[in-house]
Amino acid sequence: MKQINIAILGCGVVGTGVAKLLMEKQPLLESKIGASLNLKYVVDLDTKTDRGIRFKDGVFISDATKAIDDPTVDIIVELIGGKGVAKDFILRALKNKKHVVTANKALIAEFGNDIVKIAAEHNSDFGFEASVGGCMPVIKTIRESLVANRINSITGILNGTCNYILTKISNEGCLFDVALKEAQAKGYAEADPFLDVEGHDSAHKLAILASLAYGMRINIKDIHVEGISKITPVDIEFAKDFGYTIKLLAISKNNTDKVEARVHPTMIPTVHPLAHVNGSMNALTINADATGETMLYGAGAGMMPTASAVLSDIADIARNIMVNQNLNSDSKPVTRIPILGFQDSNVRQISIMPITEINTCYYIRLAAADRPGVLSKITGILGNCGISIQSVHQKGRQANGPVPVFMITHRAVERDVQQALKEISELDAIPENPVVIRIEEDITT
Amino acid sequence: MKQINIAILGCGVVGTGVAKLLMEKQPLLESKIGASLNLKYVVDLDTKTDRGIRFKDGVFISDATKAIDDPTVDIIVELIGGKGVAKDFILRALKNKKHVVTANKALIAEFGNDIVKIAAEHNSDFGFEASVGGCMPVIKTIRESLVANRINSITGILNGTCNYILTKISNEGCLFDVALKEAQAKGYAEADPFLDVEGHDSAHKLAILASLAYGMRINIKDIHVEGISKITPVDIEFAKDFGYTIKLLAISKNNTDKVEARVHPTMIPTVHPLAHVNGSMNALTINADATGETMLYGAGAGMMPTASAVLSDIADIARNIMVNQNLNSDSKPVTRIPILGFQDSNVRQISIMPITEINTCYYIRLAAADRPGVLSKITGILGNCGISIQSVHQKGRQANGPVPVFMITHRAVERDVQQALKEISELDAIPENPVVIRIEEDITT
C-alpha cells in the first residue's frame, strides 16, 4: 500500500487532535483512501509536555526545517497559528513542492493571495477547510457542491465565543462582562478575547468565504467590523418582543457591481434557522441562484471538530497524490481544484462596498429627556435625512431621568442614518450616544 | 480547452434543469473547472414539447442508445427515473466505460450493489449526490468531509412532501387529507403520493446514506417504514404541550453489532434544530465521533436545487477526467473516491436490527371507556410488560363516550411495547387500536 508521509507543525490543541486522529483512525483512513497516512513528524518547540500520545522514536521533534526539508514528506500541516514563523514555514514547504494544510484563518485572510500564487507556481495543493467553521464543510460546499451556482449571499455565525455570550445574555439577561467571564471560565473565550468579541475573527473567516464564493481577491481591511461588547440585555429583550434575535453575523452580498462584506451584531427574524443556532455552535447560510438557501450547522471550534476538518483536507490531498502517481513522466502534477475555486486567470479584483452605502433596516435605541417636543425633534431629523420610521416605542419610563426610546426604521442608506444619528446626538435632550443595530429582514426563508 | 461531452437521458423536470444549468452556466463552469462541458445529447421520447431551451441541431434526440454508444460521450446523466429502462441504460453506459450521474434513489436503493460492482469493474465514476436531499451536499459530506470520523448516527427529514404536510397540520390544525390535497395542489406531492407519505421515499434515501456512513451493503427490505397518514392534529397538539415536535424522520444508528435503520413519525424535542425545519425543506443531522453533531439544511427537491446537485457530480467527474488524461499509457484510470466511500474490500455486510429490538421512549394515545378501574388495567399491563410510565394525561373528557388517554413511557424495548399494546387492545374498555409514536430524546444537542 502506498505510504503518504505527513508532518504536523505545532502540537497545541488542534495539532494534538490531528495527531490523535491520524494515529487512531489509521485503519479507517486506509479502508477509505487506499493509502497509508503515516505521521512522520510532529514538530513543537515544547516536546516535553505530555500530549497523551505515544509517538514512535524520532517523530516528536523540535526542528521544523527537518520536517519541511525532508524529501519523503508529502504533506505539511501547519497548526502553529499567527503570522510569524507559520507563514515562513508554509512558503518554504510550498517551494519544496509539498502540499500544505492549515487552519490559520488570520494568515490566510491577510496573506492568502501570496500563498495561493506560490502554491499554484509549484503545483501544490493548499487546504484550509479547518480555517472557517470548524467541522462544517463550508469550503468544500462553496467550491465543489455549489459549483454551478451564482452565489448571491453568505450569512454566518462564525465565532462560537460571541454566540455563546449572546445566547447567555439572551437566556439569563446578564451583562456582557458577566457572560464573557463565564465564556472564559468554560474555555470558549481566550484570555485576550479581543479578536473574538470585537468581530475580527469573524472578519478573517468572511474574507476567506467571500473570496471563494465570488472568485475574488479581498483586502481584509475593507471589511467593516463591529463586535458585541456594547450589546445589552435591554436590546435583546426588545428584539425578542418584536420577533427578532440578535446574532453577531458575518454577511456578504454579491451585488452586481460591488460586494458587501461586513461583520456586526444583527437583528434577524426569530423564524430564521440562524436564530436557533445557540451556545458555541456555528452556522452558515448560503443563498445561491439554483439552490436557494442552504445552511450548514456544526461545532465551529474545538480540538476534534477542527481536527476532523484538517483530516478531510489531508484525505483529499492523499487522493490527489494517488491519482497523480500514475502520471506520464512529462506531465506536471495536476491541481484538481484551484485553491480559490476558480482558475487563476478568472479570479477578479472586486471592490467591497463602503459601509456607508449599504441599505438595510435599523434598530435605534436612545435615552431622551422626558419633556414635550423631544420625540418630534428626533423624528424630524430622521425625516429630513430621508429615513422613514416603521415603529417607535417607549418602554421603562421612570419618574426622573431620561426615557428609553426604541425605533425601527424602514430600509435606509447607512450614510443617511449616520448623519441623522450625529444630529440627534447633538441635541441637548439626548445625554448619551444612541445604540444602533442593523436588521436583516431579507434573509427570511 | 479540453471538451467533455455530456448526454442527459430524460428531459423531465430535473433533466430540463440540468440542461439549462449546463448551457447557461457554461462560462462559470469553464472558469472553475478549466474544461468545457458540452451538452452533446438530450434524450427523451418526447422531443416535441417545448422545454424553454434552444438546443443546437442534433442535440435533442429520442434514441438513448445513440448517446450511450457514442464513443465521444464522457458522462451519461440518467434522469428518467424508475427501475426499468433507467437501469438498463446505466449498466450499458458503465459497460461502455462512461461515467454515470443519476438522481434515481429508488434504483440505487434497490440495485445499487450491482451498479457499484459494474462501475468498479470498468473504472467508471458513478455520481448520485442528487439522489438524497436535493441540493444539500449529504453524500459529499459523509464520504469526504467526515472521512476521519466514525459516524454514530444519521437522522434526517428527507421528504419535503411529508414535512410540508406535517408543518401544515401543526400550524393550522387541519386533517391529513386536507393537508395532502394542498400539497398536491402546490405541486409538492405527486398525484399518487404513496411513496412519499408512506415513507418509502425516505427509506430509499436512508438506505443510500447508511451504506455510505458505515461502508455497508443494505437490503432495503430490512428498513422498517411507517408513514404519516395516521398522524392527527390531536397528537401534534399534545406533542407541542410537552415540548415535542412530530417529524417524519429517517433514523439510522451505528450500534456496535447491528445497525438501526427505520423511517417513522417521531417526536423530537422542540429545542432540536430539526424541529425548526418547516415546509418542504429537508435537513440531515450527522452525529460523528470527532465532529459531534452537524446539520445540513436545504431544498430537498425541485428542478434547480436537484439540478445543482447533479452538476456538482458532473464537475467532480470532469475534474477526474482532467487529471486522468495525463496518465501513463499503461495505467488504468483511477477512481478517486470509491463509490461507497470505502475501498471495495472494506465494504461490509451488516445486518439491520429488527424494529422489535429497538429501545426508545414511546407516546401512546388511546380511547378508554370512562369507568373506574380502566386506567389501572392499562397501567398494569404496561407494568407486567416491563414498561415504566413517565406521565399519563387525560384531556378532552366528554359527558359520554370514551376518554382520550395520553401516555409517555420511559425507555422500553419495542417488542415489549407491542406485546403490551396487543393486550391493551383486547380489553373491552378500549374500543380502538392505540396510536403509538416513537420519541427520540437523545438527539438533543
The reported pLDDT for the residue numbered B349 is 82
Chain A touched by B75 (CB under 8 Å): no
Q: What grid cell was written down for A153?
A: 449571499
For A321, nearest residue in chain B (alpha carbons): B336
Q: What grid cell was written down for B306?
A: 436537484
Which chain B residues are closer than 8 Å to A17 by Cβ?
290
CA of residue B215 relative to chain centroid, distance: 17
Q: How far apart are CA B216 and CA B210, in angstroms?
A: 7
Closest CA to A10 of A287, A439, A303: A303
DSSP string, B268-300: EETTSGGGG--TTEEEEEEEETTTEEEEEEEE-
Calculate how close chain A gets to B331, using CA atoms only, in Å: 6
CA distances from B122 to A264, B57, B333, B389 (A): 53, 32, 9, 57
Closest CA to B131 of B301, B262, B253, B264: B301
Q: What is the overall mean pLDDT for chain B?
A: 94
The reported pLDDT for the residue numbered A399 is 74
Nearest-5° angle of CA A416, CA A422, CA A427?
130
Topology of domain A138-299, CATH: Dihydrodipicolinate Reductase; domain 2 (3.30.360)
Chain A touched by B348 (CB under 8 Å): no
Yes or no, beta carbons of B144 and A297 under 8 Å apart = no
Residue A445 has pLDDT above 50, yes or no: no
Q: What is the pLDDT of residues B115-168, one digit of tens each?
A: 999 999 999 999 999 999 999 999 999 999 999 999 999 999 999 999 999 999
Please give the helix or strand (H or E) that residue B425 lies within, else none: helix B414-425
Calculate how close chain B gets to A345, using CA atoms only, in Å: 8
Residue B445 has pLDDT above 70, yes or no: no
Q: Are A100 and A317 in contact (CB under 8 A)?
A: no
The reported pLDDT for the residue numbered A23 is 97
The reported pLDDT for the residue numbered B49 is 96
Every domain of chain A and the residues it spans: 3-132+303-340, 138-299, 355-439
How would residue A444 be classed by pLDDT, with cut points 50, 70 and 90? very low
Q: What grid cell was written down for B242?
A: 410537552
Yes or no, beta carbons of A342 and B293 under 8 Å apart = no
Q: How far apart are CA A313 and CA A96, in angstroms?
A: 19
Q: Are B79 and B9 in contact (CB under 8 A)?
A: yes
Architecture of the B3-133+303-341 domain: 3-Layer(aba) Sandwich (3.40)
Which chain B residues are closer than 8 Å to A148 by Cβ?
21, 25, 28-29, 307-308, 311-312, 315
Strand partners, A363: A408, A437
Chain A touched by B242 (CB under 8 Å): no
User: Lowest mean pLDDT: which of A189-198, A216-225, A393-402, B231-240?
Assistant: A393-402
Q: How far apart are CA B182 and CA B176, in angstroms?
A: 10
User: On the CB side of B308, how many CA atoms lie within 13 Å of its CA?
Assistant: 31
For B17, nearest residue in chain A (alpha carbons): A290
Yes or no, beta carbons of B281 and A445 under 8 Å apart = yes
The reported pLDDT for the residue numbered A337 is 92
Q: What is the pLDDT of residues A43-82, one digit of tens each?
A: 999 999 999 999 999 999 999 999 999 999 999 999 999 9
The reported pLDDT for the residue numbered B334 is 72
The stretch A360-371 carries a mean pLDDT of 93
How would residue A443 be classed by pLDDT, with cut points 50, 70 and 90? low
The reported pLDDT for the residue numbered B430 is 93
Q: Could you tell me whether strands B151-157 and B244-254 are parallel, antiparallel, or unpaired per DSSP bridges?
A: antiparallel
Q: What is the pLDDT of residues B297-334, one digit of tens each?
A: 999 999 999 999 999 999 999 999 998 888 777 777 77
Residue A38 has pLDDT above 70, yes or no: yes
**Cell 419495542 sits on residue:** B414
Which chain A residues are closer than 8 Å to B342 by Cβ?
31-32
In this complex, the residue of A32, A146, A281 whose CB is nearest that of residue B147 is: A32
For residue B237, what are the contacts with CB-CB under 8 A and spacing of at least 6? B173
The CATH class for the domain spanning A3-132+303-340 reads alpha beta
Yes or no, beta carbons of B346 and A31 under 8 Å apart = yes
The reported pLDDT for the residue numbered B351 is 85
Residue to substitute from A14, A18, A29, A147, interface B, most B β-carbons within 10 A: A147
Residue A296 has pLDDT above 70, yes or no: yes
Q: How far apart are CA A433 and CA B148, in angstroms?
A: 51
The hierarchical CATH code for the domain A355-439 is 3.30.70.260
CB atoms within 10 A of CB A329: 5
Chain A touched by B296 (CB under 8 Å): yes
In this complex, the residue of B31, B291, B307 whose CB is nearest that of residue A298 is: B291
The reported pLDDT for the residue numbered B443 is 60
Q: Are A352 and A214 in contact (CB under 8 A)?
A: no
Q: What grid cell was written down for B391?
A: 406521565
DSSP string, B224-240: EE--STT--HHHHHHHH
Residue B5 has pLDDT above 90, yes or no: yes
For B283, nearest residue in chain A (alpha carbons): A295
Catalytic machinery residues of B: 205
Chain A touched by B1 (CB under 8 Å): no
Which chain A residues are closer than 8 Å to B346 by Cβ?
31-32
**Cell 452525529 sits on residue:** B287
Nearest-5° angle of CA A289, CA A291, CA A294?
115
The stretch A228-249 carries a mean pLDDT of 94
Radius of gyration over alpha carbons of chain B, in Å?
A: 25
**Cell 448516527 sits on residue:** B153
CA distances from B139 to A141, A158, B44, B341 (A): 11, 24, 28, 9
Q: Which CATH number fits domain B356-439: 3.30.70.260, 3.90.220.20, 3.40.50.10860, 3.90.800.10?
A: 3.30.70.260
Residue A348 has pLDDT above 90, yes or no: no
For A19, nearest residue in chain B (alpha carbons): B148
Strand partners, B408: B363, B391
Positive or negative CA dihedral for B317, B313, B91, B303?
A: negative
Q: How far apart are CA A340 and CA A190, in angstroms?
A: 30
**Residues A87, A140, A168, A205: which is the catalytic one?**
A205
Phi–psi pair at B180, nearest 5 degrees: -60, -45
Q: What grid cell was written down for A191?
A: 484570555
In this complex, the residue of B134, B147, B298 whose CB is nearest that of residue A311 is: B147
Closest CA to A13 of A301, A299, A303, A300: A303
Which chain A residues are closer than 8 Å to B134 by Cβ?
291
Yes or no, beta carbons of A21 and B148 under 8 Å apart = yes
Calculate how close chain A gets to B381, using CA atoms only, in Å: 41
Residue B398 has pLDDT above 80, yes or no: no
In this complex, the residue of A144, A307, A336 whose CB is nearest that of residue B290 is: A307
Yes or no, beta carbons of B336 and A324 under 8 Å apart = no
User: Lowest mean pLDDT: which of A94-103, A243-252, B181-190?
Assistant: B181-190
Which chain B residues are closer than 8 Å to A144 by Cβ?
137, 140, 312, 315-316
